[in-house]
Structure 1
Amino acid sequence: MRKLALSDEILLRIEKPARYIGNEVNSVNKDADKVDVRFCMCFPDVYEIGMSHLGLQILYDMFNRREDVWCERVFSPWTDMDKEMRSEGIPLFALESQDPVRDFDFLGITLQFEMCYTNILQILDLSGIPLSAHERTEKDPFVIGGGPCAYNPEPLADFFDLFYIGEGETVYDQLFDAYKSWKASGGSRESFLEMAAEIEGIYVPSFYDVNYKEDGTIASFLPNNPHAKEKIRRQVASDMGETTYPLKPTVPFIKATQDRAVLEIQRGCIRGCRFCQAGMVYRPARPRDIEMLKETARAMLKNTGHEEITLSSLSSSDYNELKEIVSFLIEEFKGQGVNISLPSLRIDAFSLDVMSKVQDVRKSSLTFAPEAGSQRMRDVINKGLTESEIIDGAGQAFEGGWTKVKLYFMLGLPTETREDMEGIAVLSDKVARRYYEIPKEQRNGKCQITASSSFFVPKPFSPLQWATMFSAEEYVAKANIVQEAMRNQLNRKSLRYNWHTAELTVLEGTFARGDRRMGAVLLEAYRLGCIFDSWDEYFRYDLWMQAFENTGTDAAFYNLRPRTRDEIFPWDFIDCGVTRDFLWREWENAMQGKVTPNCREKCSGCGAMTYKGGVCYEG
């Protein structure tokens, strides 16, 4: 392997050279000659975002615990470094060894957000790895994808050798052992893919053929190789006590987006929000042992020097031992300047009491996620949150000294009416009104209510995967309705409103539910210059529209047409644990505005409990 060395001249010409030099605290270095498998873990976005991702830290730690595996990291070079590498002929390299990515056995890419897909092509391009999987030879690494977007891998099928469907703690050891056996045998590239396809949870896209009907929908999706399974079953860690957790997370040299230790208190969610893919594919809910969390928190803070720790889960308030772990952290690190971050909380008296102890109330803001402005709409999406609960929570926060509240909503949900949209402004005003009901002498100046709305994108394996989207112009019109309603509220001077980029939502929707034909659009967009699409300053909607036109692809086909119950979706070959019948039942409940109890109240028969290795959350 050829070692790379970035010259001081190049490092002085780029922004934040620490993104590329490696050797951070707790990074892992090994002797490349003494390992059998070299794995390069890639997060296809800038370093500061990738280093904030817990999944990357977990797999990096888990892989490197094996003496025969060396896992290194790579991130998307920022545009200045991209330019330098192309002009100087420098291939993309891993941080730890500075070896070229092309020389590794595996390039593993985490798929967190559809609008990072062009960055995946940047990674392959800069590495000198053929973009199309069928063009790769035995000299190239195997490119494997995983993460939430892998639940519909089809838009990326042309560019990946294989995908890992599910949670990473389960079958990677089998994959590495299979690779070692294959490498010793001297077999062909295809023979390893056949070995990999025999492993539960591994999907090899080249082993499947897709046929389409005249109307563009899928007619069939069938294996073309005897080693390929008809159904790929997502992998789930049924016992969280048997999984590893990084006690020595790598500490970036520069400030990461989430610059703190992260303690995952549970995985999965009991709530069943119908728009939420994660709440479905990570079922059943699995809490971590409280004593394990205490020891892990001690070790992480000691080994990293972080001054903040985040309790991470999809719904932290549903963790039974939340009060105990928070009380432990407050007491254990009293006087040490350690802050405790509590995202994903339902704001109640306990949560507010805790946050008043760990936050500077005068400076911080509280976040609520009503998701919809009207109770009717919240019932449609099964949010399980009433207006009185929202107002009462805000009132308790105001009485506790907070004056800043952020409210998160979605626009473009199915069955949405003008009244539902205007309800965002009405609810925001009611929250502000609750503040001004406090006696004047007890207030801390004026309140600030910031309402933000994203535009709903239907995701695979969520009950709303059958929903129709809207055009960019229609999304903006919806936001303008809310904006106008904000101006008409009594407390309008205390209200602020902003919304997500509509054009970005349109593209996200095409890839979220896209099929293999979207790969041509992606490749054309990259060739036209699209990169870092999730960054406003680099997003070029005009180039994307040109890519659709050049490839003869209609974005409306993926976003604007209705879908029937029996349509074959591009992701239907995946068994995610939750049954399609359950998802359709929940879709019908949404259309009728019927609320489904959460898993702790009543089992709804989603299928996750009976799934192999699945366990019901008992608490």
Structure 2
Amino acid sequence: MTDYNTADIRKQVERFLPKVLKPSRYLGTEWNAIRKDWEHSKVRMAFAFPDVYEVGMSHLGLRILYHLVNSYEDFLCERVFAPWVDMEDRMRENTIPLYALESYRPLQEFDVVGFTLQYEMSFSNILNMLDLAGIPLRTKDRGPEHPWVIAGGPCAYNPEPLAPFIDFLMIGEAEETLPQLLRLIQEQKENPVSREEFLLKVAQVEGAYVPEFYQVRYLEDGRIQSIEADPRVPKIVQKAIVRNLDQSYFPTSPIVPYMEIVHDRMMLEVMRGCSRGCRFCQAGMLYRPVRERSPETLLRHAEELVKSTGYEEISLTSLSTGDYSCIQPVIRGILDKYSEDKVSVSLPSLRLDSFDVKLAEEVQKVRKSGLTFAPEAGTQRLRDVINKGVTEENLLDAAESAFKAGWSGIKLYFMIGLPTETQEDLDGIVSMAKKVVELGTRLGRRNVNVTVSTSSFVPKSHTPFQWEPQEGTASLKQKQQYLREKLRDRRIKYNYHDVETSYLEAVFAKGDRRLADVLELAVRKGCKFDGWNEHFKYETWLECIEELGLDPHFYAHRAMDYDDILPWDHIESGVNKRFLMNEHHKALKESRTLDCRYVDCTGCGICPERGLQIDLKG
């Protein structure tokens, strides 16, 4: 890339910005954006989201960490997103390096570039962004003149396909560890030591994982023989945990974009963690234990958010907001204060077994939207296998209450390809959808409409199903076709997720370091935005995997044994392997495990082993 100063980049970009889609993605002039003095900042961080602006700006983690880092006098944080293909073409034509929005400075000038790993299908964008920034892709090719490339997020719990590209990762919650790591980078700038010596200091921070200190050896059949840690670093990397959510940092003056984003509203994180124990759900395992914020804290945050943003909707976010023990007083407190200002409340996740139509009516007094429920499976047998814990009766009761209260549209989410799934389970999806439609019609609702969405099961690390294979693509396509035919009804709409995308997601979700070469080759051949159907180059990915002599079925379609060494065995989620094995056994026996908030400890290990406890405010 040509050397540009900030003014040059800004001038060049302003010349062609009117010619690209959604130019406000690239301006960085939004309300509440923070511009700090570059020269007086001792550590300069670029928070890099490997997807387009409107997806990244909807991410609560970005909002928290951006404002957290900028709250420190010595630190500066700016944002960068993956430019859409039209913008990238213009940048490459004009040899403009990837720049941060607030200052238009190239990423190359920052001390640290931090990526968030939300989705395996964004891995190619990470490499493409580094290439566009002029930063060498592999850690071994970077020198002291390059920024540290770090990462965190849910996919950091199996980051092995990215291991050669990332200097170090943050496993777990970063509010307390990120500032510690930035202090170490500040010390390194002021009193430099060798790369190895610096990274050894990093590896002592809770949750910090430095891939180059862990050597992986393989057996002839492709399985892992051993993962050996350098004796100077922890053998197992334990996740970092925020112990008290009430006392943790939360931004109340978030950036307000000029364009519509995916979640264009205020966000209040009411709690973290979920102990429902769905066996396919990685987030439910990774974010344990459950910790809640108090109503007083949330109402104070709400007041500050309304003043600082001008938004008219507050979303109460968590993995399962209906389970928050103080949900009713918080909703009433917000609506009592702001309903005259037309400020509404939304609940992004409603559980069938905790659905309260009065609560839903209360929430949607200001503006009424559709209701979404996730039964996940079509029969009670399969719901017991996955430990979903809801019944068909729960669904019909919730639907009846909703129809009587004036709703006419309901969305239902299911998964196909779950372990032990049979034809009867598919027929159960059809039956449930038709029963909801018939119920609405019988209750006199006009324009009843039910949307059924199915995604394909992807086995994820640190879950009871991590040993399970993904079902074959041909079989999953057959199931989608069957459901499409059976759900033909003008009152039912059927949506489904691309099977090939789910297949590649499974390859990387269960993958090891050998996939790094595939990733790099695919990016060199033009792969990017793989989560977007119009840009997903499935055949190119298969060619790259074949060219490098690897077998994608080995990763996605192989059932693993309990005594196999898993690629992520040196990274700890807090939930012990013994518990996951036991849950896998119980799944195959169609046996339930109850929520530890309401019964005795279920033995996942997170509380006793880390000296924690569930923190409920109600």
Scaled by the length of structure 2, what TM-score is found?
A: 0.96
Q: Gapped runs of 5+ residues in structure 1?
A: none
Give the superposition deviation at 1:471: 2.2
| Separation in structure 1 between the aligned mates of residue 189 and residue 366 of structure 2, nearest angstrom | 58
CA 1:69–1:341 in structure 2 vs 1: closer, same or farther (change >3 Å)? same
Q: Alpha carbons of 1:214 and 1:263: their partners in 2 closer, same or farther (altered >3 Å)?
A: same
Distance in structure 2 (CA, Å) of the matches to 1:554 and 1:51: 36
- What does 1:187-586 correspond to in 2, within 5 Å? 187-224=193-230, 226-347=231-352, 351-359=356-364, 364-438=369-443, 443-487=444-488, 492-586=489-583
SS at match of 1:108: strand
1-structure distance, mates of 2:583, 2:216: 28
Give me the whole-angstrom Cα distance separating, in 1, the residues matched to 2:79 and 2:112: 12
Which residue does the alignment assign to 2:66?
60
Matched with 1:151 is 157
Select the residue among 601, 610, 613 that pairs with 1:615. Answer: 613
CA deviation after TM superposition for structure 1 residue 553, in Å? 1.4
Structure 1 stretches of 4+ with a deviation exceeding 4 A read: 347-350, 360-363
Among residues 594, 598, 609, which one is paired with 2:595 in the alignment? 598
Q: CA deviation at 1:360?
A: 7.1
Aligned to 2:133: 127
SS of alignment partner, residue 181 of structure 1: helix
Deviation at 1:180, TM superposition (A): 1.9
- The Cα of 1:14 is off from its aligned counterpart by 1.2
**Aligned AA (2:305):** M
Moved more, 108-117 or 3-12: 3-12
CA distance in 1, matches of 2:103, 2:197: 29
- Contact 1:362 1:401 (8 Å CA) reproduced: no
Report how far residue 358 of structure 1 moved.
Answer: 4.0
Equivalent position of 1:181 in the other structure: 187
Counterpart residue identity of residue 208, structure 2: I
**What is the total number of aligned residue pairs between the two structures?**
610
Please say if residues 236 and 613 of structure 1, whose CA atoms lie closer than 8 Å, have aligned partners that are also in contact. no
**How far off is 1:494 after superposition?**
2.1
The alpha-carbon deviation at position 614 of structure 1 amounts to 2.1
Aligned residue identity for 1:356:
E
What is the CA–CA distance in structure 2 between the aligned matches of 1:362 and 1:485, rounded to whole Å?
Answer: 34
Please give the secondary structure, in 1, of the residue aligned with 2:493: strand
Q: 1:467 deviation in Å?
A: 1.0
Shift of 1:301: 1.4
CA distance in 2, matches of 1:396, 1:557: 47
Instruction: Report the secondary structure of 1:498's partner residue.
Output: strand
Residue 108 of structure 2 is aligned to residue 105 of structure 1: no
Equivalent residues in 2 for 1:154-173, closer than 5 Å: 154-173=160-179
Which secondary structure does the structure 1 equivalent of 2:414 belong to?
Answer: strand
Describe the shift of the 1:549–1:292 C-alpha distance in structure 2 as closer, same or farther (beyond 3 A): same
- Report the equivalent of 1:22: 28
Mapped contact 2:597–2:614 kept (Cα < 8 A): no
Secondary structure in 2 matching 1:320:
coil
Distance 1:350 1:273, change over 3 A: closer
Post-superposition CA distance 1:321-369 (Å, at most 9, x none): 1000000111110211212111112247973223324437996321110
Higher mean C-alpha displacement, 84-93 vs 604-613: 604-613
Contact 1:380 1:593 in 2 (8 A): yes
CA distance in 1, matches of 2:482, 2:29: 51
Using the size of structure 1 for normalisation, the TM-score is 0.96
C-alpha distance in 1 between matches for 2:561 and 2:553: 16
Measure the CA separation in 1 of the matches of 2:609 and 2:353.
34
* 1:210-234 CA-partner distances (Å, limit 9, x unpaired): 000111110000123x432211000
Cα distance between partner residues in 2 of 1:341 and 1:455: 27
- Structure 2: where are the runs of 5+ without partners? none
Q: 1: CA distance between counterparts of 2:276 and 2:91? A: 47
Contact 1:284 1:615 in 2 (8 A): yes
Please provide the CA RMSD for this pair.
1.5
C-alpha contact 1:237 1:243 (8 A) present in aligned 2: yes
Secondary structure in 2 matching 1:521: helix
State the shift of 1:23 in Å: 2.0
The alpha carbon displacement at 1:315 in A equals 0.8
Distance, in Å, in 2 between the alignment partners of 1:467 and 1:562 is 5
SS of the residue corresponding to residue 71 of structure 1 reads: strand
Over the matched positions of the two proteins, sequence identity in percent amounts to 45
Per the TM alignment, residue 557 of structure 1 is displaced from its structure 2 partner at its CA by 0.1
Alignment counterpart, residue 139 of structure 1, candidates 120, 129, 145: 145
Residue type of the alignment partner of 1:464: F
329-338 or 39-48: bigger deviation? 329-338
Q: How many angstroms does 1:86 deviate by? A: 0.6
SS across alignment from 2:486: helix
C-alpha contact (below 8 Å) 1:198/1:227 kept by paired residues: no
The one-letter code sitting in structure 1 at the alignment partner of 2:281 is C
CA gap of 1:303–1:363, structure 2 versus 1, over 3 A, is: closer
SS at match of 1:229: coil
**CA–CA distance in structure 2, aligned partners of residues 310 and 103 of structure 1:** 36
Aligned partners of 2:485, 2:257: CA distance in 1, in Å? 44
**Residues 193-243 of structure 1, C-alpha deviations (whole Å, 9 max, x = no match):** 12111212111111111000111110000123x432211000010111221
Distance 2:31 2:194 in 1: 39
**Residue 5 (structure 2) pairs with residue 2 (structure 1):** yes
1:357-390 superposed Cα distances (whole Å, 9 cap, x missing partner): 4437996321110000000000000001011011
**Secondary structure of 2:610 counterpart:** coil
Match of 1:35 in 2: 41
Moved more, 190-199 or 211-220: 190-199
User: For 1:311, what is the secondary structure of its paired residue?
Assistant: strand
Conserved? CA contact 1:425–1:485, under 8 Å: yes
Verify the 8 A CA contact 2:344 2:367 in the aligned structure 1: no
- Residue 568 of structure 2 aligns with an amino acid whose one-letter code is W
